[in-house]
Structure 1
Amino acid sequence: MNERFIPLPGSDRASAPRIRTVGPVEAAAPVEATVVLRRRAEVPHDLIVGPETISQAELAQQYGADPADVDLVGEVLGRLGLRVIDADPASRRVTVSGTAEQMAAAFRTELSRVESPDPVGGAPVEHRHREGQLHVPAELDGVVVAVLGLDDRPQARPHLRHAHTEARRISYRPTELANVYHFPPGTDGSGQSLALIELGGGFRQQELETYFSSLGLPTPRVTAVSVGGARNHPGEDADDEVLLDIEVAGALAPGAEQQVYFAPNTDSGFVTAVSQAVHATPTPAALSISWGAAEESWTEQARMVFDEALADAAALGVTVCVAAGDDGSADGIDDGRPHTDFPASSPHALACGGTRLDADAATGEVRSERVWGGTDGGGATGGGVSTAFRLPIWQNAAGVPHNGSTGRGVPDVSGVADPATGYEVLINGRRSVIGGTSAVAPLWAALTCRLVQELGRPLGLLHPLLYAGVTPGHTSRGFREIIDGSNGAFQAGRGWNACTGLGVPDGTELLASLRELTHG
């Protein structure tokens, strides 16, 4: 068999940080990989930016993978000993299995076993590891656009911070923030589906019932969905993230049903979970993602197919809310330069930054609100200018700085995130105060569900509506701009800024603005 192989663009992978080599991968060890195929046709820009949406069947038929491509992949990789165990043409994913030896030969790479730090905390994680570029058989040139999962290193970290007791000044029940941010009265998200992505941890139903009962709310319907062998597994460090997300979203949109997708913390697991959530029935009104990592820690192919999954979301009418990060403008990289977090930096994600809030919880009156950063609570909101994605058209007039390039500006919107003015939640029986932009993504997802409920139609990609009329120094209707503070390399100021985006929501005004813009 004389297969000719060609490089797979964007597949080059750097070494994982601070690795310790454990040894080779056993030749006969079973390995699964996600092979992502080309679209039948590119999704039209007008469909992505809305306001019209497309059905799942139409998206699959017009812009999914061609079944002939699925068959070709099965045939070509089958000659190399790999087996197709699942195929989803709608999201263009084919799952293949084989031995480590067969996988390494099929994609011209070397696999080893290493240990590297767990971004969630705890002991180092042992995983498969590869470096350099992948290759595919020449017959699949242009057909296969990504191969994920051969290297199953931990890909992302949760964007949350615990309040230090000595630093905590004030905290809020999430229901009180609906008052502070003027969520539209008479709405609760009823009739809507809200999806959450989790890369570890779990929840217990009894704990949810205890928490929501303490808020005087009915417990929302929460369903766990297993992805890639992962499952709802309470008792892990990531429980904090899972419960923060569910409790914030459920307190602010108690009428919305939640689907919580538990996936392995790998590039393949993350992309698969998002694809499944976006293409689920019923289509969710909002998807909340509180995990991410600096753009540079992703392969170009993984960023590309993840971004394309978020473009699918926009076309289907799903608003994807993503935490912008908790490590300031450096995003945890110690090279002295600013960095943005992905997937928040995707132009198809509503990137959610963070503030420090001093408000009267009883009345909702805001005494002050500034950028989260440089305070005794620790951490700072992510934000800056992407080096991976170009400036999208809706940010053309927003005043995004040219940070050596004309990249997409992050974040788009904000909410309270400083743990010193954080969220009161229940975590494994303990009343806790947690902050981080992790909490802002479900806050905005919950607000989106309430807006969709009232408008009677999905919103999808909110950006063209939110940025309508924005110019340097002037924000949009429906926002209260944040003008004080810094996240490191960037300062707050009038209008859009790289710390808090357009600002924090005034939900009632935002509803009125969206109603006008969508001619509702």
Structure 2
Amino acid sequence: MNRKLFHDSVAALPSQPGPTPNALKVNARSPSHDSDEMKVTFALGIDDSLRQELESRVANGDVVPVSELNSKYAVPESEIDPLVAYLKSEGFKIDEVSNDRTRVVTHATVKQIENSLQVNMVRVTRDGITYTVAKDAPSLPSDVSTGVHAILGLQPCFHAHKHFRRITPTNRFEPTDPQSNTGEPTSAPNVANSPPYLVSEILAAYNADGLNLTGKGQVIAILIDTFPADTDLQKFWQRNGLSTSINQVTKINVNGATLPPTEGEETLDAQWTSGIAPDAQIRIYASGTLQFADLDRALDRILADVAELPSMRQLSISLGLGETFMQQGIVRSQHQRFLRLAAAGVNVFVSTGDAGSNPDSTGHASDGPLQAEFASSDPCVIGVGGTTLILASDGSVSRETGWPDGGGGKSILFGRPSWQKGDGVPAGTNRLVPDVSVTADPNAGALVILHGKAHQIGGTSWSAPVWTGFCALINEARENAAKPFLPFLNPLIYPLGNTPCFRDIVSGSNGAYSAAEGYDMVTGLGVPDIKALVQALT
């Protein structure tokens, strides 16, 4: 029987047990693991002509109803039905088929996976955790694999990384009771406009205060692996003088699995999106893990919910991985989801990373390959880079430079989108990141309440939720002006790069690249003037 091999769904592993150059340790699998169950996702793609048509519509500013995405731009039933029938016959349990039929989620035992996909399974240890993974490329019979372009979940040791940096206690705040040692912050800071910054200080720095915009009527989505604590959110809102209620926050456990403990990223995302847009509804989609198959499932759930929540037009993601460490099958699967979200009018803000121009496989700076991080490099998202923002005592911007650890560069996975042009954009055919920037430096970081204590946190994980909140303010302004919600933002803002809508950042370097006049691969178009941007986009 002829079979289709999926070489780009897995990373190559050595044929013999032992350590590998990318910090893995490979061991043989014992029969005791044969009955362990694994989730496996089969990703299918629409016809290339339909994909190109949809990409053109996004670039032209069209917004496509989810119902049309699930009909015209769906995988035909004739391609998915034989696959599902085959998997069932092999003992796989079908957990979910996405509405557009681009994804089939299954689970099966290790032995069933090995036999049905004709793949060798081994044990791999990474960062002290041992996984069962595929050592070589899986395959499917040719007559059931017509539309399949990737098989995901076979190497759970490879996953995205979070983009927040430096959790440190802060002494900007005094205890409520001078005799107390609880460390609880009071209602007044010791020194205004000094790190860790409050929401009001960041709003003022980007001319987003005094606009009578609060995100009212808007819905913000956050994709991360777990949930923040309600008490931390409430203390953050109290600290910032906000009347936001916990009733505005909805938590969705996408996979219904036991979630990892709260550690900071989810808290930063939720506190700062809701801080910038305090009257918006916040929906936190917890994927359970940072494996790309689980992130895909969460993205599909968000897209499905857009049909019922038409004002959910902004999504914050503070995750990534260097492009050289990505498998092409995973990239194609995720791009299909970002394309559909952009087509539905959801602007996805993705942090560009905290490792400068040379991130390694763990998301840290290195002398390794020059590369951008996926998914910020996807042409259907807004890649958000980072700056170092220093405020004067009166709240004005004393200086703002490119943050040395802010991600940026030339994509090796995606070509230059038609809209990526303008002053400073270098000649070439590669997609460039970032698109925009905002404050990120942890040394001049954000106030975050974590485990009941005040901390100072930074990274482009701060930048992405701030921009997501700004998007909610712009959509509120458009709704107030009787205009439709924003389509995909990038084609609208690149023509505004040399206008008062953006403050150009002209100094700072992230390693290989330096900030300069116009567009650059450290800060993109620059940082926003929200008042001017609202006026231009409404």
Tell me the TM-score normalized by structure 2. 0.86
Return the letter of the residue paired with 1:79: S
Structural mapping, 1:78-93, within 5 Å: 78-90=88-100, 92-93=102-103
Match of 2:342 in 1: 314
Q: How many residues align?
A: 490
Structure 2 CA distance, aligned partners of 1:324 and 1:38?
26
2:309 to 282, 292, 296: 282
Return the letter of the residue paired with 1:355: T
Match of 1:518 in 2: none
Structural mapping, 1:95-106, within 5 Å: 95-106=105-116
Return the letter of the residue paired with 1:327: A
2:489 to 456, 462, 484: 462
Return the letter of the residue paired with 1:260: I
Match of 1:21 in 2: 26
SS of 1:352's equivalent in the other structure is strand
Structure 2 CA distance, aligned partners of 1:432 and 1:289?
21
Structure 2 CA distance, aligned partners of 1:423 and 1:286?
21
Match of 2:146 in 1: 142
Structural mapping, 1:161-180, within 5 Å: 161-162=165-166, 170-180=195-205
Match of 1:359 in 2: 391
1:423 to 446, 451, 456: 446
Deviations 1:288-335 (A, max 9, x none): 000111112221010111111111011100000000000110023645
Structure 2 CA distance, aligned partners of 1:356 and 1:13?
36
Return the letter of the residue paired with 1:93: R
Deviations 1:378-436 (A, max 9, x none): xx10111111111111114454446xx63111100001100111101101111000010
Structural mapping, 1:326-337, within 5 Å: 326-332=354-360, 334-337=366-369
Structure 1 CA distance, aligned partners of 2:139 and 2:425?
38
Unaligned runs of 5+ in 1: 118-123, 374-379, 516-520
SS of 1:292's equivalent in the other structure is strand
1:188 to 202, 205, 214: 214
Deviations 1:58-85 (A, max 9, x none): 1101112223323221112233332322
Match of 2:401 in 1: 370
Structural mapping, 1:98-497, within 5 Å: 98-117=108-127, 124-162=128-166, 170-183=195-208, 185-199=211-225, 201-220=226-245, 221-230=248-257, 233=260, 235-236=261-262, 239-263=263-287, 264-280=289-305, 281-283=308-310, 284-332=312-360, 334-360=366-392, 363-373=394-404, 380-401=405-426, 406-456=429-479, 457-468=484-495, 475-497=498-520
Structure 1 CA distance, aligned partners of 2:198 and 2:101?
38
- Report the alpha carbon displacement of residue 36 of structure 1 after superposing the two structures with TM: 1.4
- Report the alpha carbon displacement of residue 287 of structure 1 after superposing the two structures with TM: 0.5
Structure 1 residues 171, 392: closer, same or farther in 2, change over 3 A?
A: same
Contact 2:315 2:349 in 1 (8 A): yes
Return the letter of the residue paired with 1:13: A
- Report the alpha carbon displacement of residue 213 of structure 1 after superposing the two structures with TM: 1.4
Structural mapping, 1:18-97, within 5 Å: 18-24=23-29, 26-39=33-46, 41-42=50-51, 43-90=53-100, 92-97=102-107
- Report the alpha carbon displacement of residue 167 of structure 1 after superposing the two structures with TM: 13
Judge which range, 223-232 or 164-173, deviates more: 164-173
Structure 1 residues 91, 170: closer, same or farther in 2, change over 3 A?
A: farther
Judge which range, 284-293 or 96-105, deviates more: 96-105
Structure 2 CA distance, aligned partners of 1:136 and 1:207?
48
Deviations 1:90-118 (A, max 9, x none): 2621112222122122222212222102x
Judge which range, 158-167 or 63-72, deviates more: 158-167
Contact 1:490 1:498 in 2 (8 A): yes
Match of 1:377 in 2: none
- Report the alpha carbon displacement of residue 504 of structure 1 after superposing the two structures with TM: 0.4
Judge which range, 181-190 or 72-81, deviates more: 72-81
SS of 1:34's equivalent in the other structure is strand
SS of 1:44's equivalent in the other structure is helix
1:7 to 1, 5, 8: 5
Deviations 1:157-191 (A, max 9, x none): 11111166899973311232111111261111111
Unaligned runs of 5+ in 2: 14-19, 173-193
- Report the alpha carbon displacement of residue 364 of structure 1 after superposing the two structures with TM: 3.7
Contact 1:352 1:414 in 2 (8 A): yes
Match of 2:190 in 1: none
- Report the alpha carbon displacement of residue 439 of structure 1 after superposing the two structures with TM: 0.5
Structure 1 residues 458, 126: closer, same or farther in 2, change over 3 A?
A: farther
Structure 1 residues 104, 458: closer, same or farther in 2, change over 3 A?
A: farther
RMSD: 2.3
SS of 1:61's equivalent in the other structure is coil
Deviations 1:134-173 (A, max 9, x none): 2221013431111111221140111111166899973311
Return the letter of the residue paired with 2:3: F
Judge which range, 50-59 or 322-331, deviates more: 50-59
Judge which range, 209-218 or 13-22, deviates more: 13-22
Tell me the TM-score normalized by structure 1. 0.89
